[in-house]
């Protein structure tokens, strides 16, 4: 049956969109892919752009507001608008780099800073094979003041502290179960500053693939450290070169979240659907959804992991070798 959605022709003369407000995003996407993400790769800049979405959005606290203290504006761009202040907060260590890399893109496009940060994270993630298509909205209102310090979880925080912080920021929506869903992001992640002697130490053996290896590997027995063994927020990992966060270790084993953690093992559809769901909500913390336009259609659907894995099997490789010889 014919699609009934009426599309508008964008002024770029190439694209169409369901809402004219989305038209500008095609150029932002293509600029990001060419000039920040190395032609569309799931490497450090993509990972850091995704991490930045969390550190901007999570800085909101109804609990502080109820005490008459400004609690931050959530996904309001404050981490970049007030970067001198917020990137100096301890949990934001290292994010000064991606904030600076993103600033020229923000300057040459016409998005709010808040929209840009979430959009760059969604586009970065779309470069990771196996990732879900993450939500993209436009229309967020930018921050007029920095978020207060103390609202971004640290790897040395206990599950109690982390669960309480996420519940506060989300007004009760993100419980222990949804906290595990959020941590799917650590499948495309590495640490630069937990152990600064070994920057770029990944959390799983496939940091450029959105798979479920992270959930498997955090459950294995920890025996080694990628660098030195005395860093705050780090515990022993099972694989040479891999870094394990204390918070991931603890949440994987806490009796409130362990079953949910294990349910992700080998469950690729779940690792896509659950993160897609929590990112949608996280990415609009502090904003009014009724004044936003959904432009998710601009985010390319990532390469499925089945196809990726298929391409990598030894059988495929030898078959293609035979074919090229024939
Ligand atoms: Fe994350 C990374 C922590 C959640 C995303 N982390 C990371 C790190 C840490 C963390 C420590 C490292 C940094 C450096 O560089 O050194 N997280 C954390 C915690 C939490 C989290 C504690 C709570 C539980 N994340 C999260 C979320 C997300 C994320 C929710 C999303 C959204 N991360 C991330 C990423 C990364 C990280 C993507 C990577 C980055 C790179 O690679 O650079
Ligand atoms: Ca992975």
pLDDT tens digits for range 255-296: 999 999 999 999 999 999 999 999 999 999 999 999 999 999
Q: How many CA atoms lie within 13 A of 99 on its CB side?
A: 23
pLDDT at 186: 98
Nearest ligand 1 atom to alpha carbon 207: 42
CA–centroid distance, residue 263 to ligand 1 (Å): 21
Q: Is 186 marked active-site? A: no
pLDDT at 140: 98
Mean pLDDT of 183-212: 98
Best residue for ligand 1 mutational test, from 95, 191, 251, 280 (most atoms within 8 Å of Cβ) = 191
Report the distance separating Cα 57 and Cα 77, nearest Å: 8
Of 145, 80, 84, nearest to 119 (Cα)?
80
The ligand with the least distance to the CA atom of 154 is 1
Query: What's the mean pLDDT when you consider all of the chain?
Result: 94
pLDDT tens digits for range 204-243: 999 999 999 999 999 999 999 999 999 999 999 999 999 9
> In this model, does residue 326 exceed pLDDT 70?
no
pLDDT at 318: 55
Q: Which residues of 258-280 are buried (b: 16+ CB within 10 A; e: fewer)?
A: eebbeebbeebebbbebbbebbb
Query: ipTM above 0.85?
Result: yes
CB neighbours (10 Å) of residue 168?
Answer: 20
The lowest-confidence range among 45-54, 90-99, 304-313 is: 304-313
- Could you say which of 47, 55, 157, 186 is catalytic? 55
Of 67, 80, 63, nearest to 171 (Cα)?
63
Whether 181 lines ligand 1, by a CB cut-off of 6 Å, is no
Report the distance separating Cα 203 and Cα 233, nearest Å: 13
pLDDT at 307: 59
The ligand with the least distance to the CA atom of 183 is 1
pLDDT tens digits for range 214-223: 999 999 999 9
């Amino acid at each position: 049956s014919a699609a009934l959605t009426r599309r508008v022709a964008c002024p770029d003369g190439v694209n169409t969109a369901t809402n004219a407000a989305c038209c500008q995003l095609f150029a932002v996407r293509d600029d990001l892919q060419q000039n920040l993400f190395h032609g569309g790769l799931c490497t450090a800049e993509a990972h850091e752009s995704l991490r930045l979405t969390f550190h901007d959005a999570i800085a909101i606290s109804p609990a502080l507001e109820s005490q008459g203290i400004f609690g931050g504006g959530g996904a309001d761009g404050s981490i970049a608008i007030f970067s001198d202040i917020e990137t100096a907060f301890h949990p934001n260590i290292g994010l000064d780099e991606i904030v600076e890399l993103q600033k020229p893109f923000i300057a040459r496009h016409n998005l709010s800073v808040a929209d840009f940060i979430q959009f760059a994270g969604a586009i970065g993630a779309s470069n990771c094979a196996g990732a879900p298509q993450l939500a993209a909205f436009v229309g967020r209102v930018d921050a007029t003041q920095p978020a207060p310090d103390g609202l971004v979880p640290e790897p040395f925080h206990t599950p109690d502290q982390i669960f309480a912080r996420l519940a506060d920021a989300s007004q009760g929506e993100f419980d222990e179960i949804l906290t595990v869903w959020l941590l799917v992001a650590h499948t495309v992640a590495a640490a630069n500053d937990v152990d600064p002697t070994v920057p770029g130490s990944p959390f799983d053996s496939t940091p450029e693939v959105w798979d479920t290896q992270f959930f498997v590997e955090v459950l294995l027995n920890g025996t080694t450290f990628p660098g030195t063994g005395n860093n705050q927020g780090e515990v022993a990992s099972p694989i040479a070169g891999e870094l394990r966060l204390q918070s991931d270790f603890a949440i994987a084993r806490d009796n409130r979240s362990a079953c949910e953690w294990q349910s992700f093992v080998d469950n690729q559809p779940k690792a896509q659907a659950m993160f897609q769901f929590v990112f949608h909500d996280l990415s609009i913390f502090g904003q009014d959804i009724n004044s936003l336009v959904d432009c998710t259609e601009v985010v390319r659907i990532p390469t499925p992991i089945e196809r990726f894995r298929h391409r990598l099997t030894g059988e495929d490789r030898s078959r293609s070798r035979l074919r090229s010889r024939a």
